[in-house]
């Protein structure tokens, strides 16, 4: 049965469920500031390989799942939201995530290996090496997080040609990406919820090691995540692990390198099989 939405803790999450209905399920987790549509070019490749894809608009992005305070965006809830979707699917899944979706996916894979057959992380490494890297050059790359934590101001500068759009253009966005941001995030009312993830970072618990087959996909033109953030990432995985580095690709791997993203997911799935 197709899943267009599911409910957890009184919140309703929208889902893009597509591909062969009888295919092994692959759950795709978006990052900030994007929605499930960021997988629009990745999913068809997975469908052609026989897989069903389920991409949710996560907490803060789905209109029916927008807590009003930052306390509603803690990492434990973000992980539990994904677990609830997998429970709705009714069987273990292959999991992939980009950016914040990657941060959440590490938690899901670590806490519930019984529900995750394989894990493909894009851009953001395991929270432990990432936190450690903040003592070095990664701290400068992550300075924008402090700005996102200022109440109300990021929302106020998210208008046309404002600071938020200039930041995103600097990270590799083109005109079409900016237009999508205006329509799918700002006009849709999803920006405050997306920023809520940053504002609830103080609630983040320690994440354990991941035992399922794991691939880390990183791109060398990522302005947000430097190579130093990946140092020691393999130590956070006890199962099969592979690091794939993309050359000449910006932070936005699912939309700028969808073939590479799909290939990484399929490669991880093959290891799990």
Query: Token pair for residue 13?
Result: 């999450």
Closest CA to 122 of 270, 271, 257: 257
Segments of the chain with pLDDT less than 50: none
Predicted confidence at residue 162, as pLDDT, reads 82
Query: Other C-beta atoms within 10 Å of 246: how many?
Result: 19
Predicted confidence at residue 157, as pLDDT, reads 84
Predicted confidence at residue 152, as pLDDT, reads 82
HSE at residue 192, side-chain half, CA atoms within 13 A, is 14
Predicted confidence at residue 254, as pLDDT, reads 98
Predicted confidence at residue 1, as pLDDT, reads 86
Predicted confidence at residue 200, as pLDDT, reads 96
The full length of the chain comes to 273
pTM of the model: 0.97
Closest CA to 101 of 33, 203, 24: 33
Please confirm whether the linkage preceding 6 is cis (ω < 30° from 0). Answer: no
CA distance 136 to 260: 29
Predicted confidence at residue 160, as pLDDT, reads 82
Predicted confidence at residue 273, as pLDDT, reads 85
Residues 6+ apart with CB under 8 A from 95: 26, 27, 29, 82, 105, 108, 109, 116, 117, 118, 119, 120
User: Each residue of 77-111: pLDDT tens digit?
Assistant: 999 999 999 999 999 999 999 999 999 999 999 99
Domains and CATH numbers, the chain: 5-272 (3.40.50.1820)
Cβ atoms 161, 267 nearer than 8 A:
no
HSE at residue 174, side-chain half, CA atoms within 13 A, is 4
Query: Token pair for residue 254?
Result: 């699912």
- Phi, psi dihedral angles at 234 (to 5 degrees): -65, -25
Q: What is the CA radius of gyration of the chain?
A: 17
What is the DSSP-derived secondary structure letter of residue 161?
T
- Phi, psi dihedral angles at 199 (to 5 degrees): -75, -10
What is the DSSP-derived secondary structure letter of residue 65?
-
H-helix or E-strand spanning residue 165: helix 163-170
Q: Which residues pair with 219 in a beta bridge?
A: 246
């Amino acid at each position: 049965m197709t899943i267009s939405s599911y409910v957890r803790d009184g919140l309703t999450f929208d889902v893009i469920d597509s591909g062969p209905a009888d295919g092994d399920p692959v759950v795709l987790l978006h990052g900030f500031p994007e929605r499930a549509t960021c997988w629009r070019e990745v999913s068809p490749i997975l469908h052609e390989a026989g897989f069903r894809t389920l991409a949710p608009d996560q907490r803060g992005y789905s209109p029916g799942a927008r807590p009003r305070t930052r306390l509603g965006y803690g990492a434990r809830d973000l992980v539990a939201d994904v677990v609830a979707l997998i429970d709705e699917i009714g069987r273990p899944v292959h999991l992939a995530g980009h950016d914040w979706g990657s941060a959440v996916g590490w938690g899901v894979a670590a806490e519930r290996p019984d529900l995750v057959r394989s894990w493909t992380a894009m851009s953001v490494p395991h929270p432990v090496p990432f936190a450690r890297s903040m003592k070095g050059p990664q701290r400068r790359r992550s300075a924008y997080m402090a700005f996102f934590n200022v109440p109300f101001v990021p929302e106020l500068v998210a208008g046309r040609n404002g600071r938020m759009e200039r930041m995103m253009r600097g990270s590799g966005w083109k005109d079409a990406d900016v237009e999508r941001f205006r329509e799918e995030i700002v006009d849709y009312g999803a920006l405050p919820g997306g920023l809520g993830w940053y504002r609830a970072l103080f609630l983040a618990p320690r994440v354990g090691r991941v035992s399922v087959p794991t691939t880390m996909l990183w791109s060398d033109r990522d302005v947000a995540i430097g190579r130093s953030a990946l140092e020691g990432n393999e130590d956070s995985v006890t199962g099969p692990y592979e690091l794939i580095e993309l050359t000449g690709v910006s932070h936005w791997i699912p939309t700028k390198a969808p073939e590479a993203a799909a290939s990484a997911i399929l490669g991880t799935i093959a290891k799990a099989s």
